[in-house]
Amino acid sequence: MDESIAKNQSYPGGIQAYVESFEKQRQLYKRTMVIVILSQIFGGAGLAAGITVGALLAQDMLGTDSYAGVPAALFTLGSAGAALLVGRLSQRYGRRFGLATGFLAGGLGAIGVVLAAVLNHLPLLFLSLLVYGAGTATNLQARYAGTDLALPTQRAKAISTAMVFTTFGAVAGPNLVTAMGKVAISVGVPALAGPFILAAVAYIIAGLVLLFMLRPDPLIVARAVAESQFVNEKRSEAKNGEHATSYKSGLIVGATVMVLTQIVMVAIMTMTPVHMRHHGHGLGDVGIVIGIHVAAMYLPSLITGILADKYGRTVMAYASGVTLLLAGLVAAIAPGDSMVLLVVALALLGLGWNFGLISGTATIVDSTPPSVRAKTQGTVDVLIALSGASGGALSGMVVASSSYSTLSLLGGFLSLLLIPVIIWSRRSKRERQ
């Protein structure tokens, strides 16, 4: 494509008006953020159900702790497949269709979990948890929608703005465990399935919000804008050759940061409710601890995004590794009956995950052009989901064969692997300069 073609190319569906007007692009960016925020509020409420009571529901149905991590493994494994599907659908048809499909599938999975609990049907439970994982994957991928039209200096802030509003639903979910349990019992459903009723409604509403309101599609507009700004084929080829290695390095670092933080966070988080119940804590206490944990995962996002844009992705990635190490140490030494220390440990765990996810996501966005952005982001999120599935599955086995303290220590020290990866990246970048 040469300059004359770029200038004269037209785009369907009213996209051309946005291509030609920077002001309209800014207006669409702001409108997109509002819609993504609205969907994230409901999406947050949906994902909290599996975090809070998934392991407890499996524990009751299976009658053993050894496989209490299976639900987290299943819905994170399901989110891996969904991340790939949502990424591919978004790449082909736009964010609106891809994200709406993922949330609606998550809602159907939550309905299946409720039916499995009523029928005490394990195969249906496992299958439904896989489908439910689509909501988790979509809730994460929605953070990318806000970056499609964001300026390079505001990408991390765009990611974090979407995430911070997830807090409203994600914190409300765990704290509604007791209330939703009563609602479930009143309609003949086991109490532990109550939060999944909330998840079904929340995910379906999130999907419908995106399906009907996310117009025009921000990814399609961003792709058209990028194509229209193409100036010189020779210049483009030179830039591509110069930055190809840099982009690849950015993808590796961003993906590694997010994968490691996900493994550590999911492993410790999954077994905390089981650990608490063994020490006499009720569902209300579990809801408080997990609610604070989820708040720490999302609420600091706005500040994290500003810091990542101002001081760089690397600084926040380092902060992630150190914070996760502290979380593992506190969880390991905390007495089982100490609500205060468990709250501190899980808050640090959520905060460390937040630092890692936002810095890693911003690095990925920086390293992907609009032409392949959604597909690449979906593939990276597959790795994140698979790492979470591994952490969830292994966490129960580690605790069953050793202890919750051992699991916490292993997770904390695993997070330190972030540091050599980042050092390698910085050294490679200096060698290229």
Judge whether 3 lies within some domain: no
DSSP-derived secondary structure letter, 1: -
The rounded distance, in Å, linking the Cα atoms of 346 and 268 is: 8
Q: How far apart are CA 262 and CA 340, in angstroms?
A: 24
Region 152-168: what's the mean pLDDT? 84
Picking from 327, 330, 345, the residue whose alpha carbon sits closest to that of residue 415 is 327
pLDDT category of residue 247 using cuts at 50, 70 and 90: low
pLDDT per residue as tens digits for the range 40-51: 889 888 887 666
Task: Read off the pLDDT of residues 61-93 as tens digits, 9 standing for 90 and up.
Answer: 777 666 666 776 787 778 888 989 999 999 999
The answer to whether residue 6 is domain-embedded is no
Structural domain range at position 402: 11-432
Q: What is the pLDDT of residue 50?
A: 67
Q: Where are the alpha helices (DSSP H) in 63-165?
A: 70-93, 95-119, 122-145, 155-164
Q: What is the pLDDT of residue 29?
A: 94
When pLDDT is cut at 50, 70 and 90, the band that residue 12 belongs to is: low
Question: What per-residue confidence (pLDDT) applies to 47?
Answer: 80
Radius of gyration of the chain (CA): 22
Q: What is the pLDDT of residue 241?
A: 46
> What's residue 406's pLDDT?
93
51 to 180, 245, 272, 310, 430: CA distances (angstroms):
15, 38, 10, 32, 41
What are the tens digits of pLDDT across the range 120-156?
Answer: 888 898 899 889 989 988 988 888 888 899 888 888 9
In a domain, 308, yes or no: yes
Could you tell me which residue, 115 or 237, shows the higher pLDDT? 115
Q: Rounded distance, CA 163 to CA 300, Å?
A: 9
What's the pLDDT band for 236 if we cut at 50, 70, 90? very low
pLDDT at 4: 36
In this prediction, residue 389 carries a pLDDT of 77
| Assigned domain for 4 exists | no
| Tens digits of residue pLDDT in 361-401 | 999 988 888 778 888 889 898 888 888 778 887 888 898 89
Determine the pLDDT at residue 7.
Answer: 41
Flag whether 48 is in a domain.
yes
All residues at 6 or more sequence positions from 124 whose CB lies less than 8 Å from its CB, including other chains? 112, 115, 116
Residue 225, pLDDT > 80, answer yes
| CATH number assigned to the domain comprising residue 327 | 1.20.1250.20
Query: Does residue 90 belong to any structural domain of this protein?
Result: yes
Q: What percent of the chain has pLDDT over 70?
A: 88
Predicted confidence (pLDDT) per residue in 184-203, tens digit: 899 888 888 888 998 999 99
Average pLDDT rounded to a whole number, residues 169-175? 71
What is d(CA 81, CA 131) in angstroms, rounded to the nearest whole number? 9
Instruction: Note the pLDDT of residue 231.
Output: 43
Q: What is the pTM of this model?
A: 0.76
| Residue 61, in any domain of the structure | yes
**For residue 268, pLDDT beyond 50:** yes
How much is the pLDDT for 428? Answer: 58
Average pLDDT of every residue of the chain: 84
Domains of the chain: total: 1
Q: Can you spell out the DSSP letters for 343-369?
A: HHHHHHHHHHHHHHHHHHHHHHHHT--
In which band, very low, low, confident or very high, does the pLDDT at 299 lie, cut at 50, 70 and 90?
confident
Rounded to whole angstroms, the Cα distance separating 86 from 80 reads 10
* 19 assigned to some structural domain: yes
Give the pLDDT of residue 51: 66
Q: What is the pLDDT of residues 92-103, one digit of tens each?
A: 999 999 999 999
Mean pLDDT across 334-344: 91
176 or 7, higher pLDDT: 176
- At 230 the pLDDT is 58
Rounded to whole angstroms, the Cα distance separating 229 from 260 reads 37
8 Å CB contact between 359 and 308: yes
